[in-house]
Amino acid sequence: MMNIPIYQQALGGDFNRLQPELRDYFSLVPGSGQYGVGEGVFDVVGCRQRWLSPLLRLTSGEEAFFPEYGESIPFRIENHAHQDPFGRSSLTARREIRFPGRTRIFQDTTSVTDLDNGPQLVDYVGRYRRVVTDLNLSATAEGRLRGVSDGSRLFIGPLRLALPAALDAKAYAEQWWDASAGVNGKHRIQVKVIQPQLGLVLVYAGSFDYRLRPYSGGSSAQSYLPPYAQPDRWERRT
C-alpha cells in the first residue's frame, strides 16, 4: 500500500470529494523522490492563556507545545512521505514557527495501521513521539478535510498510559483551498487543541503557499527521511 497516500487509505472513496488542491497536497507517497514545502503566515498561533506559560515552557523541549502566542507569525512546513522503521507508510511533518526572537519546532509523524475495520491513522507527536492519538478524518460538503484526534495515550518507557476523557486533549483541524484570490489562491488551515480542564491549550490558523521539491541527491528510497526531520526516538506501539 506504499503507492497509495495514507490519507487516501484512511478516507477511502471520500478522498475524491476533497478539493483538487487538497488531493494534490495529501498525495505524497514513499519513494516519490519529492517532499512538500509550505511557507506562509499564521494569523494566530500558540496559547492565549498566559497562566499556562510556565507549564508549557517546561514541556517545550518535546517540540509539541510551546508557551509563546503571536499574531501574523511566519512559518514553514515540510511534509515527508516515507516508510517508518517498522514498515508502515507514514507522513512526517516538521513545522518551523518563527516568533520574534525565537523559532519553535512542532513535529509529528502520522502512520497508517491496518485494523479489522480498515486503515487507521495514528499520529505520533513531538521529537520523542511519545504522545500518540488516533486521527479520524472526514470530507466536508465543501470538499474540505476535517480531522479530530481521539484516544490520546502516553508512552513513557515500557508504560502505555491511556488518558481518561476528563484529561484527554482533543485536536480539531480543518484544511482547505481558498480560491477567493483567484490565481493567487492559498492553502488555509485552522487547528484547535482543547483540554476539558484547561480549555484551549493550542491554536493555529493561517494560510500558505505549497510546492514539491526533489530531494537533494535524488533519493527515492521508500524509507528515506532527511536526518534533520527524523525524531530523537521512534515508537511502534499504538
Fill in the amino acid letter for 21. Answer: E
Query: In this structure, is residue 58 part of a structural domain?
Result: yes
- Closest residue by Cα to residue 89 from 168, 199, 8, 143: 8
Query: In this structure, is residue 89 part of a structural domain?
Result: yes
- Domain span at residue 106 reads 6-229
Is the pLDDT assigned to residue 27 strictly greater than 90?
A: yes
- Residue 72's CB is within 10 A of a number of other CB atoms, namely 10
Output the DSSP codes for 20-69: HHHHHHT---TTSSEEEEEEEEEEEEE---GGGHHHHHHHGGGSS--S-E
Report the distance separating Cα 56 and Cα 50, nearest Å.
Answer: 10
Query: In this structure, is residue 206 part of a structural domain?
Result: yes
CATH of the domain at 25: 2.40.128
Query: In this structure, is residue 234 part of a structural domain?
Result: no
Q: Could you give the C-alpha distances from 94 to 17, 58, 102, 107, 178, in angstroms and in order?
A: 27, 21, 16, 5, 23
Q: Is the pTM of this model over 0.75?
A: yes
Fill in the amino acid letter for 128. Answer: Y
Query: In this structure, is residue 201 part of a structural domain?
Result: yes
Is the pLDDT assigned to residue 217 strictly greater than 90?
A: no
Query: In this structure, is residue 59 part of a structural domain?
Result: yes
**pLDDT at position 66, please?**
93
Is the pLDDT assigned to residue 116 strictly greater than 80?
A: no
Query: In this structure, is residue 235 part of a structural domain?
Result: no
The string of pLDDT tens digits covering residues 132-169 is: 999 999 999 999 999 999 899 999 999 999 988 877 88
Adjacent-strand bridge partners of 145: 139, 175
Query: In this structure, is residue 98 part of a structural domain?
Result: yes
Cell numbers describing residue 74: 511566519
Q: DSSP code of 7?
A: H
Mean pLDDT of 210-217: 93
The string of pLDDT tens digits covering residues 181-210 is: 787 899 999 999 999 888 999 999 999 999
Is the pLDDT assigned to residue 1 strictly greater than 80?
A: no
- Closest residue by Cα to residue 35 from 4, 81, 72, 67: 81
Domain count, the chain: 1
Mean pLDDT of 30-40: 97
